[in-house]
Amino acid sequence: MKSFRIALAGALSCIAIWLLVSAPPELPETTSATETQRSLDVENMFNAVNAINDAARTIYTARIVGPGLKSGLKFSEEWSEPDVEAGPLPALFLRVVAGRMESKPPRLGLYLGSDAPINKSNLFSETQTIAFEEVKATRAPVFSVSSTAGQIAMYPDIAGAGPCVSCHNDHKDSPKTDWKLDDVMGATTWTYPRASLHPDEYLLTTDAFMASVAEAYGLYLDKVKGFETPPAIGTDWPSPERGVALPDVPTFMAAVRAKAAETVMNELILRDGLPGDDKLAAVLQ
Ligand code: HEC
């Protein structure tokens, strides 16, 4: 019982750190055999990182790209070219996040695809298309296991903001021009090698993913700083009235964290309800 409490206190203090600052919780140097028995399903972790990704993507699209376009900022496929004064499109922002994640220890992979993609390299394979049909029909995640990729989760990528629809419908390479708000435009596919995780591994992975989002946004700001007339970077967001200000990394990440925190915490501790549930007992025993 005492070890229950200690584990709960540990998990809660890690979450408190996660909610307040961006410093990653340290993974304990030693893990005893009994501690490793307390494990979470990989689905809990997929749900958490997907919530962070959704939050980052929606905030980037609705609060940066949308108002940014109206106040003079540009977003382009060629954003990383030295002579192009533009930021990454939402899908490319996700690719930068995925790239940053690759350089970190947790082996979490992510990929954005569609059955009607602007970029043909984002077209689903045959097997992925079967899973995607189910995602489209249920608008819920689909979990599977593969001998090569390990655990796989596919989550719907929904047109949650006006710019998703207008930009895709107007794009010269889009095979589909009648996207509507709330359509399932594609799916984010996640991979992880193992089916269960220790709570510390859960925190380490979610935190590494948060750090990857922060780094990707930081790379965008680094690019902006080199513009001929760089916009002000601080606590303001771009708006057609106020002009082309951009939030700094802490301001952007605070918005992401606020939007995703509830899911991240619930997936760790309260996924199936109140203390006393089997799930919570399994996490805490
Ligand atoms: C300003 C234009 C623009 C906006 C806004 C935009 N996209 Fe895209 N999107 C693109 C382009 C261009 C690509 C292809 C990028 C690549 O991989 O080269 C793309 C790629 C994608 C893909 C991968 C399949 C494909 O079409 O290649 C999905 C899924 C997707 N976007 C969904 C969304 C959603 C959902 C939103 C809103 C949250 C959104 N997009 C906002 C332009 C945009």
Residue 66 Cα to chain centre, angstroms: 19
pLDDT attached to residue 127: 87
This prediction has a pTM of: 0.84
Q: How far is the CA of 52 from the centre of ligand 1 (A)?
A: 18
Give the closest residue (by CA) to ligand 1 atom 34. 164
Q: How far apart are CA 65 and CA 69, in angstroms?
A: 6
- More confident site: 199 or 169: 169
Give the closest residue (by CA) to ligand 1 atom 41. 164
Q: How far apart are CA 181 and CA 168, in angstroms?
A: 11
Tokens of 56: 């980052």
pLDDT attached to residue 35: 45
pLDDT of 104 strictly over 50: yes
Locus of tokens 């995640």: 141
Q: How far apart are CA 199 and CA 35, in angstroms?
A: 9
Q: What is the mean pLDDT of residues 259-282?
A: 66
pLDDT attached to residue 155: 97
Instruction: Render pLDDT for 237-261 as a digit per residue (tens, 0 to 9).
Output: 999 888 789 999 999 999 999 999 9
pLDDT of 217 strictly over 60: yes
State the amino acid at position 68 in one-letter form: G
Q: How confident is the model at residue 148 (pLDDT cuts 50, 70, 90)?
A: confident
What percentage of the chain carries pLDDT values higher than 70? 81
Q: How far apart are CA 27 and CA 105, in angstroms?
A: 12
Whether 93 contacts 220, CB under 8 Å: yes
Q: What is the mean pLDDT of residues 73-86?
A: 93
Q: What is the mean pLDDT of residues 136-153?
A: 93
Q: How far apart are CA 157 and CA 146, in angstroms?
A: 22
Ligand 1 binding pocket (C-beta < 6 A) is 57, 61, 65, 75, 77, 89-92, 112, 114, 117-119, 122, 157, 159-161, 163-164, 167-168, 171, 185-186
